[in-house]
Structure 1
Amino acid sequence: MSSAEQWELSSPPFDSISAVRFSPTNPDQLLVSSWDTTVRFYDVVKNEQKCKFDHRAAVLSCCFAEETKGYSGGLDTSVRQLQLDTEKSTVLGQHDNAVSGLVWSKNTNALITGSWDRTIRFWDPRAAKSTQVHDQPERIYFMDITDNNLVVAMASRLFYIFDIRNMGSPGQQRESSLKFMTRALACMADGQGYAAASVEGRISVEYFDPSPEVQEKKYAFKCHRQTINDVDHVWPVNSLAFHPVYNTFASAGSDGTVSIWDHKLKKRMRQYQKYHSAVPSIAFNSTGSYLAVGVSYNWDEGEEGGRNAERPSVFIRKVGDEVKPKGWSKS
């Protein structure tokens, strides 16, 4: 499935993909973490794997700090700093359980990690140690950050919204408006709110401003569903990503599809051609010109489905006007 509009990266992971993440400064650089215990660093335009880093167990999350530095964590409980120019990795420290989420705060130059050990930790990479530990009431599944707002999705459908300058207590505590387990989280590019998704094919659109008039705008909708022979099939929504320019967003599901949504008009703008397996992770690059699509079997159908699964793939899709809202202007 390679063409001028989309190409497949060479040297993909050997096991399911957990995260694809573009550099915040270089639109051509991509990190891919995998259950095969690796983090791979690519130049997507040259279609070249530049280097690979190893963990001792499956890697669940990765992120960039800058062009030459990345971070990763997973089931081996370690938080690793990846020096992308020298191809060396160092262990910053440990959680007491799996590291499920990493985000880089450019406002404070700190790495923030979340874990199944029910803690959020802040790290100063220069000191190579954890500088803050904040206990939480539940296991942390996902985190995302916009400006100083840190959104934390936990077990029991619990959401905390922190101001990272004051981590003593969350600014807001919310219960998910979706009835089932949270599977994906992404903050809006304009910093106004976030979207979350669940295992039963629904997405909720939420806003930070607690005023009643703004909260009236929030809503949830069904997606990644299909009726086949009069039977309704519902797939988990695995990943969400907001476009950095237009603030529209993409959703990816276990049905192998990626859709583009205008959340203000509450409508789907585009659905791309179906991929060969589930889509566990997607990401727009910093300019919004490419969408990375990680495609791999993600065990929704257990071991039996895994026997016939294709090797994972990472596709890079050129993004055009299909992500641009009608009547969009910079003002």
Structure 2
Amino acid sequence: MAYGKGTTTNSAANSHKDKEYVFPKGPEDTVSALRWSPVSNHLAAASWDGKVYIYDATNTTSSDTIKGVAAIPVGSPVLDCDFNKDGTIAVGASADKKLHLMDLKSSQTMTLEGHTSPVRTVRFVDVPSANAPIIASGSWDRTVRYWDMRQPQPIGVLELPERVYAMDTGGSLLAISTAENQLHFVNLHDNPLKLWKSIVPPIPLQTTAVSVTADGTRWAIGTIAGRAAAQVVDEKDLSLENLSFKCHREAIPNKRNVTDVYTINDVAWWPGHKDVFATAGSDGTFSIWDVRNRNRLRSFPKVSNSVTAINFTRDGTGMAYAMGYDWTKGHQHSKAGAETKIVMLRFETPLKEREVVVVKKKTNYW
């Protein structure tokens, strides 16, 4: 796949051309997470090289117009990142058991300590009773800890039955995926320190990624089994459908009925929409799916390495993805100099314009 200034990429599924921009060279190891600021075109990228990179993609007209504006120096692999709601603070979750924060206006940094194992995931969450911005961090120490940045110690601890592998939030909902394939939900507006509901996900193999819609009414997961699922939070909400489907798999040439299955590394809902979300996998592909019409809206050309993270821009007019080695095939397949790259796509035709003309049809995915 060729990259360059204003390069266009053609979707085989829909024959749409999108503008493609490569971010400046930064991460020297795999990117574990991408998060757009909720108020600007700033992107945070957490990397195994021990930093959180902050980029400014405002008024992008070529790859050269994307600028690196800051980097949070962590020193240990960073496994997740997020922005606060006004985009002035970025946070990284690190293997050193700490949270690392930077005020992007002053460049001042701080750390929060309390976990006893690596911190796998982090989100700024909406807790009205706190009267302050609150951070939730999920760790392999089997806890989610809540932090008020004005205090050095966590203000609350939620005990969990297993290690935290993935977490996301939207509205009043906090969704937490743990080891032993469990999915837990917390009502942040009621009691952040109590599990509201726990379920066994509809796919019987370990969940690797979870995403929640902006209003907190539904969630999506990806798994090691090359299957994704999307379900409503309130089972009484009949306006939305539940489903699980196969993706990120590839038929082996000359072997009938034999298929390679790839891990889903990330899932992300399209902003402000309950029917459209994206998946990214170890097969080097990513796709956008229409839940209601049970269709794949978009497929994108396969890249030269695994797609490790994806995130839609705040207005949904594009998305960023990261490519790099994700270690699903072990150390023996790690290659020196393997390509690690962050790319932004600007959709030529907005998704909301395309979705109204999608024809409902049966495919072999569902």
Q: Structure 1-normalised TM-score?
A: 0.93
Distance 2:172 2:215 in 1: 13
Give the distance between the partners of 1:71 and 1:100, measured in 2 at CA.
12
Taking the TM superposition and a 5 Å limit, the aligned residue runs for 1:1-331 are 1-4=3-6, 5-26=19-40, 28-44=41-57, 45=60, 46-65=65-84, 66-108=86-128, 109-164=133-188, 165-211=190-236, 214=238, 217-229=241-253, 230=255, 231-247=258-274, 248-308=276-336, 310-321=338-349, 323-324=351-352, 326-327=355-356
Alpha-carbon contact 1:244-1:286 (below 8 Å) kept: yes
Determine what percentage of the aligned residue pairs are the same residue: 27
Q: Find the aligned partners of 1:8 and 1:118 in 2 and give their Cα distance.
A: 37
Q: Is the 8 A contact 1:142 1:185 kept in 2?
A: yes
- How far 1:11 sits from its partner (Å)? 2.0
Distance 2:350 2:250 in 1: 22
Higher strand fraction (1 or 2): 1
Cα distance in 1 between the residues matched to 2:238 and 2:198: 17
Give, in angstroms, the shift of residue 295 of structure 1: 0.6
Q: Secondary structure at the match of 1:304?
A: helix
Question: What amino acid maps onto 2:44 in structure 1?
Answer: L
Following superposition, the deviation at residue 129 of structure 1 comes to 3.0
The one-letter amino acid of 2:29's match is D
How many residue pairs were aligned? 326
Secondary structure in 1 aligned to 2:307?
Answer: coil
Contact 1:15 1:311 in 2 (8 A): no
Q: Secondary structure at the match of 2:331?
A: helix
Letter in 2 for 1:40: Y
Matching residue's letter, 1:47: I
> Is contact 1:269-1:322 (8 Å) kept?
no
Query: CA-atom RMSD, angstroms?
Result: 1.9
Aligned partners of 2:289 and 2:298 also within 8 Å: yes
CA distance in 2, matches of 1:216, 1:264: 7
**CA distance, structure 2, for counterparts of residue 238 and residue 188 of structure 1:** 18
Task: Note the C-alpha offset of 1:3.
Answer: 4.4
C-alpha displacement at 1:216, in angstroms? Answer: 9.1
**8 Å Cα contact 1:282/1:291 also seen in 2:** yes
Q: Which amino acid aligns with 2:74?
A: H
- Give me the whole-angstrom Cα distance separating, in 2, the residues matched to 1:298 and 1:256: 10
CA-CA distance at 1:287 after TM superposition: 0.9
1:123–1:321 distance in 2 versus 1, CA, 3 Å? same
Q: 2:36 & 2:153 partners in 1: Cα distance?
A: 25
The answer (yes or no) to whether the contact 1:246–1:323 under 8 Å persists in 2 is no
Q: 1:138 to 1:214 in 2, by over 3 A?
A: farther
The runs of 5 or more residues in structure 1 that have no matched partner are none
Please give the TM-score of this superposition, normalised by the length of structure 2. 0.85
- 3-state SS of the aligned residue for 1:92? strand
On the 8 A contact 1:207/1:215 being kept in 2, the answer is no
Take 1:13 and 1:242, find their aligned partners in 2: how far apart are those partners? 25
Q: Deviations over 1:288-307 (max 9, x none)?
A: 12201011111122222212
Does the 8 Å CA contact 1:107/1:147 hold for their aligned counterparts?
no
Counterparts of 1:173 and 1:214 in 2: how far apart (Å)?
Answer: 21
Deviation of the 1:187 alpha carbon? 0.8
Q: Deviations over 1:161-197 (max 9, x none)?
A: 1101313432211011111111111112343210001
Q: Give the match's secondary structure for 1:36.
A: coil
- In the alignment, the residues of structure 2 paired with residue 132 and residue 151 of structure 1 have an alpha-carbon distance, to the nearest angstrom, of 17
Aligned mates of 1:214, 1:132 — CA distance in 2? 35
